[in-house]
Structure 1
Amino acid sequence: METFDFIIIGAGSAGCVLADKLSASGEHSVCLLEAGKADKNWLIHLPIGIIALLQSHTLNWQFNSHQEKTLINREIFTPRGKTLGGSSSINAMLYVRGQQQDYDHWQSLGNTGWSFNDVLPYFKALENQERGADEFHGVGGALNVADSVSKPAINEDFIQSAVAAGYPENVDFNGPSQEGVGYYQVTQKEGLRHSAAKAFLTPNLHRSNLTVITQTQVEKVIVNNNIATGVIYKHQGKVKQLIAKHEVIVSAGTINSPQLLMLSGIGPKAELEKHNIEVVHSLEGVGKNLQDHVDVLNVAQHKRTELLAYRPKAIWWGAKEAWKFITKREGLLTTVIAETGGFIKSDPTVTEPDLQLHFVPAAMDDHGRNHKLLCTYGISLHVCLLRPKSRGTVTLNSNKITQHPRIQLNMLDHQDDIDTMIKGVRIAKKILSTPPLSSTHVNFIFPDENCNSEQEIHQFLKEKCNTIYHPVGTCKMGQDELSVVDEQLKVHGIKQLRVVDASIMPTLISGNTNAPTMMIAAKAADMILAERS
C-alpha cells in the first residue's frame, strides 16, 4: 500500500487544478486518480472535435437520466468527460464566470469567503487573458483565454439581428456587466483546445511528487472512526489500496462524487440501506439539490451555404476552412460551434439577465446526434434558463461503482421555470425572424410557425427541452440540513475528506460552469495549503 499526503479522485477541471497547486511546492506528495484514459485522442485537441466527443463511449461517461415525468418520460442525455481534463476536454470551451450576484448569493447563504470580491482574484490568477490585464482579467496564469479565430460570417448576422431585436451588444461577458450579445471567449491556445489538463496537469507531469494513474476507478473512500484514511480502487483488473496521510479529496464531478460518497457509506441513510451499504455517516444532502440549465433549441432552415451541414457546398466551404487551419491555425476547425450568444432578460422588469443564448451555424437536434437534420442548411438558437428553481437528485441503481447512478433532473418541475422558458422561446423566434438573419431565412423547423400559445410552447418544451451540460449542487456547500460540505469544502462529520468540484455549488451560477469549477479548486487548494503551513 502506497502512501501519499493527498489523494485526489477525478482528474477533471477541479482535479487538474488541485494536482497542480498542491504539488507545486514539492513539499507534498499527490496522487491523482482518473477513471478515463489519458487525453491523447486528437479529437480532444481539435476544437471542432466536440461533435464526435459528445458521442464517444471512451472519452464520455454517456450518462442518461431516468425517465423524466416533466418531459413526457424522456431520458435526458447527460454527457460528462471521462479523460484527463474531464469535461473541459470535451466541452465547448466557452469561458464564462457568471454574475457577481451569483457568488454574493452563496455568501448570503452563510458561506463566508465566497462573495464575488473573494473569488475574483482566483479567476484572474488562473487566466492568461490574451486581451491583456484589467480590473476583471489577469495575465500570466496557466489557463489561456482567447478570442475565437473561427467566426463564420453568419455569426455577425446573429449579433446584428439580436441588437435589432432590442438587445445590447457586449464585447466582454466577464467584464463589468454580463448583459448583452456578442462573441464568447474560449479556452484555446493557438487554435487548439486548452483544457484543464493541458493548462494545469501536462506541464507538471515531470514533478517527482505528483503521481497520475489513469484508467482506474475508485470503488470506495476508506473511513475509520469518521476519518478518511485512503481509497480502494481497481486498476488493470486488480483491487488496490492507497493511504492518505493528510486528506482524500473527491473531485469526481456532480454525478460521480455523490455516487462515490454513497458507495463509501456517506449519504442518506434510507438510500444506503436500500442497497445494502453499511452506513458510515448519515448525511441526507448527498445527491440532493441537483440543478442544471434547462435548454431548448429553436431551429430554422436557411439559404446560406457557409454552414455546418452534410451538403456539397457546405463541405467545399469546410475544405477551404481546413486549409486556414493548416496554414494559420484558424478557421472552421477551431470552431467551438456556439461561438456567439449572450445573456438577456426574459422581461424588462428582471434586474439581471435570466436567459442565456448560444447561436449555432447548423440545424441541430438531440445534441447533434440527429444526422438527418444536418443534411439541411440551417441555423439554431439555444435558449437556456440561468437560475432554475427545479431540483433533481442523484441516487444509486446498485451498490456497484461500475453501474451508472440514477439521475433525476426534474427539469421544468417548477412553474416559474416553465413561464420563463416560454418567454425565452418567444424571444428566440423573434431574433431568428429579425433581419439580417430573416433575409436568408426559409422557414422554422421547430417550433413551427403555429406554436404560439403558452400551452403550445409548453408542450414543445416538454418534447424538446434538454440539458446544456452544467449540472451542479449534489454535494452543496452550507450549514443547513441538506448541506454536504462547509465553506472550507470539508465533508460534514468526516475528517480529512473534502469535495472539490461543481457539486459543491449551493446554487447554479449564471453561465457555463467550467471556469467557476477551476476557480473553486484554486481557492480550495489555498485553504488546504494554509492548514498545512
Structure 2
Amino acid sequence: MDSFDYVVIGAGSAGCPVVNRLSENGKFSVLVLEAGPRDTNPWIHVPLGFGKTFANKHVNWCFFTEPSSGLDGRSVYSPCGKVLGGSSSINGLVYTRGQREDFDGWERAGNQGWGYDDVLPFFRKSENQQHGQDDFHGAAGPLQVFDVNDCHPLSAAFVDSATEAGIPRNTDFNGSRQEGVGSFQVTARTGRRVSSAVAFLRTAERRNNVCVKTGAEVERLAIDNGTVTGLTYLQGGQRHKAIARKSVVLSAGALNSPAILQRSGIGRREWLQAAGIEVQHELRGVGSNLQDHIQARLAIRSRRLSTLNSQVGNPLQLVLMGLRYAFFRRGPLASAGGQTGGFVRTREELDRPDIMYFVMPFSSADLRKGLDRFPGFTIASCLLRPESRGTVRVRSNDPKDSPLIDPNYLAAESDRRTMLDGLRLARRIADMGPLQQEIACEERPGRSVESDDDLLRYIRATASSVYHPVGTCKMGIDLDAVVDARLRLRGLGGLTVADASVMPTIVSGPTNAASIMIGERAASFLLEDGQS
C-alpha cells in the first residue's frame, strides 16, 4: 500500500502543473497515476504528428459519443489523451485562453476569485512567451508559447482576405482583445511539441518526492467517514491501494473524471443505480453540463499551390519533408495544423466573437482515413459558446467499460443558427481577392448547397467535435455544482477536482491553456490549505 501526501489522478494538461507546484518546495510527497504509457511515441513530439496519434489506441482513449439526434443519429469520434501529457500530447497545439467575459461570467455565477483579473496571473505564471513579458504574458514559466513556423501561403491569404472583408487583424489573441484574424501561437518550440508533461512533469519527476506510475487505471475512490482517503487502481493486472494523507486530486479530464466519481458511488442516484453501483454520496451534477465545441468545415481545392494533401501523396515530397524536419526542424512537420484563423462576430450586434476559424493547409473527410487526394485546404468554423448541454454516464463499475458520452450537439436552435452564420461568413471571406484567386472550387459542401435547409443538412451530416469537452464536474453554488470555488468536492472532504470538467461554461477557444491555468490554481489552493 502506497501512502503519499497527495495522490494525483491523471498526468494531463491540468494534472502536470498540479504535480509540479505541489512538489517543488520539497515538503510534500506526490504520487501520480496515469492510465496511459510514457510519452515515448516519437510522433507525440512532432507538431504535425497529431495525425499519427489521432486514432492510436496506445496513447488515445479513442472514445465515441452516443448517437446524436442533432447530427442525423451519428456517433462522433471523441479522441482523448491516454499518455503522459494527456490531450496536450495529441492536440493541435493552438494556445488561446478564451475571452475576458468567459472568466468574469464564472465569477458572476458565484465562483469568487475566478474573474479574468484573478486568473490572468496564473496564465502568466505558466507561460514562457516568445515575445517576452508584458501585462498579459509571462516569460519565466515552463510552458513554451511560440509563433507558428512556416505558415502556408493559403493560411496567410485567409488573413488578408478576412481583413478585406472588414475583420480587424489581431497579432495577439491573448492580449487586450481577442477579436480579429491572424496567426496563432502554439505550445511548441524549435519544431518540438511542448506538452504539459514536457513543460511541467519532466522537472517534477526528477524530484525525490514525486513518484509517477503509468499504466495505472483508477478503479474507485476510497471513502471513510465523509472523506476521500485514497483509491484503488489496476496496474499490470494487479490491484493496488494508495492512501492520500492530505488530498486526492482528480485530474482525469472532463470525460474520465465524472466516470471515476460515479464508479466510486458519487453522483446522481438514478444513474448510479442503473449502472449497478451503490450510492456513497449523492451529487446530482456529476456527469451533467457537458459542453463541447463543434465545427463545420469548408473543404476547398487549391488552384495552383501545393498543400499537405499533395505532399503526403507524393513519395519524393514526403521524403524531402521528413529530411527537412529531421535536419532542420522546419517544414510542414514542424508547423501546427491550424496555422491562422481568428475570432469573429457573426452578427454586428453581438458584443464579442461567437465563432472561431481554423485554417489548415490540408483537407480530409475523416482524418482517421487519411487526407483527400486533391490539393485541398480547410476553413473550419467552430461554435465558441454552445448552449446545448449533454451528459457523461458510466455503464458499470468496470473501468474497462467506456463511458456513455452524449454531448447533445445542436439541440439549441441558437447553436444551429450560429453554425449556419459561421459557414456563410467563411464563404464571404473566401470570395475576397487574396484567397479567391487561389481557389479552384469549394469541394465540400459545394456552392450548390446554398439554402439554410441544405446547409444545415450538410452540417448535421458532417460536423464534428473540436475535442474540447468540459463542464461535467462544474464549479458553482447551485444544486448541480460538483465543486466549490476552491475546487473541493461538495459534501466530501479530501478531494479536489482540477481539470476542464470544473468549467461552469466552456471558454471561447481551445481549452488546453485554461486547463493548465486550472491546474495552477488548484495547486495554489492546496498549498494554502496544506501549509495552514
Question: Normalising by the residue count of structure 1, what TM-score does the alignment of the two structures yield?
Answer: 0.98
- Counterpart Cα distance in 2 of 1:312 and 1:255: 33
For 1:378, give the aligned amino acid.
G
User: In the TM superposition, what are the counterparts of 1:42-81 in structure 2 within 5 Å?
Assistant: 42-81=42-81
Q: Report the Cα distance in structure 1 between the residues aligned to 2:312 and 2:89, rounded to whole angstroms.
A: 30
Rounded Cα–Cα distance in structure 2 between residues aligned with 1:348 and 1:324: 45
Q: Distance in 2 between matches of 1:223 and 1:409?
A: 30
The corresponding residue for 2:115 is 115
Cα displacement string for residues 236-283 of structure 1 (whole angstroms, at most 9, x for unaligned residues) = 111110111011111000000000000000000001111221100000
Give the secondary-structure state (helix, strand or coil) at the position aligned to 2:92: coil
3-state SS of 1:337 partner: coil
Distance (Å, rounded) in 1 between the aligned partners of 2:283 and 2:343: 36
Structure 1 distance, partners of 2:312, 2:493, is 61
Q: Which range moves more in the overlay, 421-430 or 304-313?
A: 304-313
Distance between the aligned counterparts of 2:529 and 2:88, measured in 1?
29
Q: What residue is the counterpart of 2:492 in the other structure? A: 494
- Which residue is 2:459 aligned to? 461
Alignment-mate amino acid for residue 55 of structure 2: Q
Does residue 1:395 correspond to 2:393, yes or no?
A: yes
Does structure 2 retain, via aligned residues, the 8 Å contact 1:287–1:393? yes
Displacement of 1:210 in angstroms is 0.2
DSSP 3-state at the match of 1:163: helix
Distance 1:203 1:229 in 2: 27
> What residue number does 1:225 align with?
225
Q: Which amino acid aligns with 1:325?
A: Y
1:188-241 residue CA offsets vs partner (Å, 9 max, x unmatched) = 122100000000001222211100000010000001121001010011111110
CA–CA distance in structure 1, aligned partners of residues 173 and 330 of structure 2:
22
2:521 paired with 1:523: yes
Contact 1:35–1:217, Cα closer than 8 Å, also in 2: yes
Which string of whole-angstrom CA distances, capped at 9 and with x for unpartnered residues, describes residues 357-399 of structure 1? 0001112222x2243x521111110001111100000012222
Contact 2:154–2:438 (Cα < 8 Å) also in 1 = no
Other-structure match for 2:407: 409
Query: Tell me, which stretches of 5 or more residues in structure 2 are unaligned?
Result: none
Partners of 2:147 and 2:328 in 1: how far apart?
Answer: 15
Instruction: Give the residue type in structure 1 aligned to 2:77.
Output: F
Tell me the residue number matched to 2:504: 506
Q: Is the 8 A contact 2:269 2:282 kept in 1?
A: yes
Write the distance in 1 (CA, Å) between the matches of 2:428 and 2:318.
29
Change (3 A) 1:279 1:313: closer
Is the partner of 1:416 in helix, strand or coil? Answer: helix
Percent sequence identity is: 40
Q: How far has the Cα of 1:440 moved from its partner? A: 2.4
Equivalent-residue separation in structure 1 for 2:231 and 2:394 (angstroms): 20
Would the aligned equivalents of 1:311 and 1:376 in 2 still touch at CA under 8 Å? no
Asked if structure 2 preserves the Cα contact closer than 8 Å seen for 1:97 and 1:512, the reply is yes
Name the residue aligned to 1:259: 259
Q: Which residue of 1 aligns with 2:432?
A: 434
Does the C-alpha gap of structure 1 residues 317 and 153 become closer, same or farther in structure 2, counting only changes over 3 Å?
A: farther
Q: CA RMSD in A?
A: 1.3
Which sections of structure 1, spanning at least 5 residues, go unmatched?
none
Which AA in structure 1 matches 2:368? Answer: R
Structure-2 residue corresponding to 1:101: 101
Question: Counterpart in 2 of 1:88?
Answer: 88
**Which runs of structure 2 are paired with 1:164-183 in the superposition (5 Å)?**
164-183=164-183
> What is the deviation of 1:322?
3.9
Contact 2:305 2:438 in 1 (8 A): no
Q: 1:71 deviation in Å?
A: 0.7
Q: State the distance in 1 between where 2:512 and 2:204 align.
A: 21
Picking from 343, 363, 379, the partner of 1:381 is: 379
Q: TM-score, normalised by structure 2?
A: 0.98
Aligned to 1:25: 25
CA positional deviation for 1:118? 0.3
1:91-490 alignment, distance < 5 Å: 91-310=91-310, 316-366=316-366, 368-371=367-370, 374-490=372-488
C-alpha change, 1:312 and 1:100, in structure 2 (3 Å) is closer
SS of the aligned residue for 1:246 comes to strand
SS at match of 1:13: coil
Q: Is the 8 A contact 1:318 1:332 kept in 2?
A: no
